[in-house]
Amino acid sequence: MTDKTSANLAKVRAEKFGENLSEALDIMIDFSLENKFDCYSIEEQNQLERVLEILTDCFDMWDKGQIILVSKERETIE
């Protein structure tokens, strides 16, 4: 992958980060509310609940502006 392609991919990911994070959180919340975690073992349910907790924390931090994305390209310029 070229540096330009890599930079473009990073830019697209950064632009969609909040949207993707929100989508992942919504999916996990839906699964939890629909009791879809119940078909897993207790250990796996605990892991899924932990993922949901982490996604919730990350989304809250993103929503409050506590997470800022910086590209490598920008770092080298500064």
Domain presence at residue 58: yes
In a domain, 77, yes or no: no
Domain membership of residue 40 (yes or no) is yes
Q: Which residues, in sequence order, are CB contacts of 38 under 8 Å at separation 6+?
A: 45
Q: Let me know if residue 42 belongs to a domain.
A: yes
What is the value of pTM for the model shown?
Answer: 0.74
Q: Is residue 56 part of a domain?
A: yes
Question: Is residue 76 assigned to a domain?
Answer: no
Please check whether residue 24 is in contact with residue 54, taking contact to mean a CB–CB distance below 8 angstroms.
no
Quick check: is 60 in a domain?
Answer: yes
Residue 17 falls within a domain, yes or no? Answer: yes
Which domain does 53 fall in, by range?
3-64
Work out how many domains the chain is built from and give that number.
Answer: 1
| pLDDT one-digit tens code per residue, 31-62 | 999 999 999 999 999 999 999 999 999 999 99
The mean pLDDT of 64-72, rounded to a whole number, is 82
In the block, tokens 């999916």 appear at 27
